[in-house]
Amino acid sequence: MSLDDLHLNLRNLTADDYPQLKSLMDKVYDDIGGAWPKLTIDKLVSEFPDGQIVIEDDQTIVGVALTALVDYDEFSNPHQYDDLIGHREVILNQPDGDAMYGLDVLIDPNYRGYRLGRRLYEARKELCRSMNLRAILAGGRIPEYHQHADELSPAEYIEKVSRKEIHDPILSFQLANDFLVKRLLRKYLPEDEKSQGFATLLEWNNILYEPAERVLESRRTQVRVGAVQWQMREFDSVETVLQQIEYFVDALSGYQSDFAVFPELFNAPLMGLQDRAAQRDQLAAIRFLSGFTERFKTELSRMAVSYNINIVAGSMIEEADDGKLYNIAYLCHRDGTLERQAKLHITPQERRDWVIEGGDDLRVFDTDAGRVGIQICYDVEFPELSRLLAEQDMDILFVPFWTDTKNGYLRVRHCAQARAIENECYVVLCGSVGNVPSIENLDIQYAQSSVFSPSDFAFPHDAVLAETTPNTEMIMFSDLDLTRLTVVRSEGSVTNLKDRRKDLFDLRWRDWSWKSGANLEDN
């Protein structure tokens, strides 16, 4: 499967999806009877549409979670799977139930390894919170138990799985998703020979209560950002760099971050793979670096999908078809799509030593965790750009940067903080640290990555949500409340965006379509 063709979408199951659902269930559940009848699925979709969730790739269903509403007191006690099933295999969904019951989660075998099951579990949790339900319950099969039944009791087997001494494909996954084993169920699904009829009663408790809504269609209001203050170091291969990147992506994903942010030109140490004489030709060295960009784009897109996290891939050098070089930030969405933002303002050093060109496009990107913009380092020192993005309802501005001295860093920092105040948005500043004398084209580094907010009562008194220790490799997290932006923009102590004197001045983006040969008279 090519990542270029992968485009994932999370939505609710409909009755029209049954042929695809049946095909997938017959493939995955060939050992326990295959798919539910169409009548079963139609009734479940009709009675509890929000609880039936699918992941599709280009309109092909590749993952499914089926869920029913139940009475917590009844199903948190010993029961059998048949207690959920009525006449003609109708699932006994209780519209007034106070808990969700996970019936099935299944992933197409060809799509395993992308952590799609985790996405379905997270969607269930979001729905549970939004409906103010007490918990999610599930009877979990233990399909590897038959291999240990001669030496272990079911309780002993569960204990060993919980200690990770044994891996069970279902129980290990559920434990990794914050479910707790509440009790052992006997004769839960008698036809399940691999589990020998045993199952675990699993529970995830909802400690939050939010207004009820169709969660899959709602706009996210709570966003977690994770940034990597990256240490520049010598690398002996491309694989070593990618391994380091994946280490950080894995860590940020483990803390449920919606975004992983890397600094400007974070893969620059790869210029050190040339011999010292070749590195002295600065233009040739930067062209050499651009040769790795396509592979990095592919690998970072894979990580975004696999770890279910949007990646702001700092920036990398890209060589255009005409041979010109650009400094490009890539936004790798966790649905598999890839978008780009060029650096528009080029510093004197980039222009003189590397002959970097400035881009000519500025965009706000829609993500599943807000509307975001990206400005690479020097660009944030030009306030017009951020204001143009703010006029397109930008929530978060990401600023990957690379500065050598403290005064250079402070110039970027103070401008970034001003952009947060002026445009009533969050600004995430992410830089690199460390000095590598052995690499000819790597300057010294100074950074203190930070997250800035508007300056008002709903935010910290200094408008700094988080910041790292200067010049130390580390990761940084910050939880951003997008609802607070809406409030401050309309009801803040001051309302910068709303109070602009448009009768005195305005700001516009020039139409550069002529550069690509378009006829302006046709537009």
Which residues belong to the active site? 264, 343, 377
Q: What is the DSSP letter of 21?
A: H
Assigned token pair, 312: 């702001």
CB 44 within 8 Å of CB 91: yes
CB 484 within 8 Å of CB 458: yes
Q: Which of 378, 381, 341, 375 is nearest to 359 (CA)?
A: 341
Alpha helices (runs of H) in 131-237, residue ranges in sequence order: 154-162, 171-176
Q: Which of 88, 80, 9, 11 is nearest to 45 (CA)?
A: 11
d(CA 145, CA 229): 44
- Long-range contacts (CB closer than 8 Å, 24 or more residues apart) made by 297-304: 297/330, 297/332, 297/338, 298/3, 299/242, 299/245, 300/245, 300/330, 300/332, 301/3, 301/332, 301/336, 301/338, 302/3, 303/245, 303/246, 303/249, 303/332, 304/249, 304/332, 304/333, 304/334, 304/336
Partners of 477 in the β-ladder:
226
Assigned token pair, 27: 């493939």
Query: SS3 of 425, please?
Result: coil
Alpha helices (runs of H) in 163-237, residue ranges in sequence order: 171-176
Q: Alpha carbon of 59 to those of 347, 451, 520: distances in Å?
A: 45, 38, 37
Give the distance, in angstroms, between the CA of residue 220 and the centroid of all CA atoms in the same chain. Answer: 12
Pairing of strands 432-433, 222-231: parallel
CB 305 within 8 Å of CB 336: yes
